[in-house]
């Protein structure tokens, strides 16, 4: 059974004070049942957000990175044990911003995924193409190569994949819901398990969430900018897909 997972990726936003105010506001909204929410927050707010959502069975805390070593001379990095000690259950791995600005490769992404699962964390593996790759009709080949290299030794039963076309991230340019659905079905057919939760990410907003979640292959979303506002994110996680004709 594929689980519905809606994740917010705060990126480098919000202090602890901001995070407390945010969780208070978010929790004032009732939640639709049978969907799981993950707040992927900066390291400095993991404990604050974890404490605020303790006892909320539908909401978990996620980190935005994990190093593959248990400990060591890796300035600025964070280990699995440091995350699990704070009650973290999910971790974003291979986000395109990490790949573009911090030199992540498919090989380091794989090492981080392995470390996450070793520590009992569920990684959210991000894959996606640039505009140039899309225009060269290489989207499918690119993504399947990212998966091929990234998923070596990974247990598909404890994994989420996020399809995030890079040209749609933070740009306001959304991938058509039907096109996101198509690429996700290509990803799903490539995997040896049909049960992997596959999200869409890239300019997800309150006004396109219903159409996205009405698509049969889309099991959730990874939301950046629009997850920063608790009322907007509450609208996203309380999407009403049944109101949309597909
Ligand atoms: P966005 O970011 O929703 O702001 O486009 C998505 C992401 O980077 O995960």
What stretches of 69-224 adopt beta strand conformation (E)?
90-93, 122-127, 160-163, 197-201, 220-223
Whole-number Å distance between alpha carbons of 42 and 9: 9
**98 CA distance to ligand 1 centroid (A)?**
13
Q: What is the model's pLDDT at position 241?
A: 83
pLDDT of res. 238: 96
Q: Which residue among the candidates 95, 97, 104, 211 is catalytic per the annotation?
A: 95
Place of tokens 């030199």: 103
User: How high is the mean pLDDT in each 10-residue block of the chain (246 residues)?
Assistant: 96 98 97 95 98 96 98 98 98 97 97 98 98 96 97 97 95 91 97 95 96 97 98 97 74
Evaluate: CB of 169 within 6 angstroms of ligand 1: yes
89 and 60 in contact (C-beta within 8 Å)? yes
| Ligand 1 touching residue 204 (CB < 6 A) | yes
Looking at residue 246, its pLDDT comes to 64
The Å distance, Cα 78 to ligand 1 centre, comes to: 22
- Ligand 1: which of 161, 206, 223 to mutate, most ligand atoms within 8 Å of CB? 223
User: Mutation test of ligand 1: which of 5, 222, 227 has the most ligand atoms closer than 8 Å to its C-beta?
Assistant: 222
Identify whether 95 is a catalytic site residue.
Answer: yes
| Spacing, Cα 223 to ligand 1 middle (Å) | 5
> Which two tokens mark 209?
């969430």
What pLDDT was estimated at residue 242?
79
**pLDDT at res. 244:** 75
**What atom of ligand 1 comes closest to residue 92's alpha carbon?**
9
Does the beta carbon of 177 lie inside 6 Å of ligand 1?
no
Torsion of CA 239, 243, 245, 246, to 10 degrees: 20
Which contacts (CB < 8 Å, 24+ apart) does range 151-156 have? 151/110, 151/113, 151/125, 152/110, 153/110, 153/114, 154/110, 154/113, 154/114, 154/117, 154/123, 155/117, 156/191, 156/192, 156/193, 156/195, 156/196
pLDDT at 199: 98
> What pLDDT sits at residue 174?
80
């Amino acid at each position: 059974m594929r689980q519905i997972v809606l994740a917010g990726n705060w990126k480098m936003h919000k202090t602890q004070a901001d995070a407390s105010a945010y969780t208070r506001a978010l929790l004032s909204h009732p939640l639709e049942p049978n969907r799981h929410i993950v707040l992927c927050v900066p390291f400095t707010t993991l404990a604050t957000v974890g404490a605020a959502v303790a006892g909320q069975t539908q909401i978990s805390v996620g980190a935005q990175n994990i190093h593959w070593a248990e400990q060591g001379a890796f300035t600025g990095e964070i280990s699995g044990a440091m995350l699990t000690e704070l009650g973290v259950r999910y971790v974003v791995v291979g986000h395109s911003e990490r790949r573009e600005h911090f030199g992540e490769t498919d090989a380091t992404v794989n090492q981080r995924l392995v470390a996450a699962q070793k520590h009992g964390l569920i990684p959210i593996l991000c894959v996606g193409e640039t505009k140039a790759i899309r225009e060269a009709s290489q989207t499918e080949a690119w993504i399947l190569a990212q998966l091929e290299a990234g998923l070596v030794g990974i247990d598909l039963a404890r994994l989420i994949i996020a399809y995030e076309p890079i040209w749609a991230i933070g740009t306001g340019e959304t991938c058509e819901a039907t096109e996101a659905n198509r690429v996700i079905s290509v990803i799903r057919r490539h995997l040896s398990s049909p049960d992997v939760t596959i999200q869409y990410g890239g300019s997800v907003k309150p006004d396109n969430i219903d159409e996205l979640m009405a698509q049969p292959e889309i099991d959730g979303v990874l939301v950046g900018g629009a997850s920063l506002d608790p009322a907007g994110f509450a609208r996203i996680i309380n999407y009403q897909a049944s109101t949309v004709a597909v």
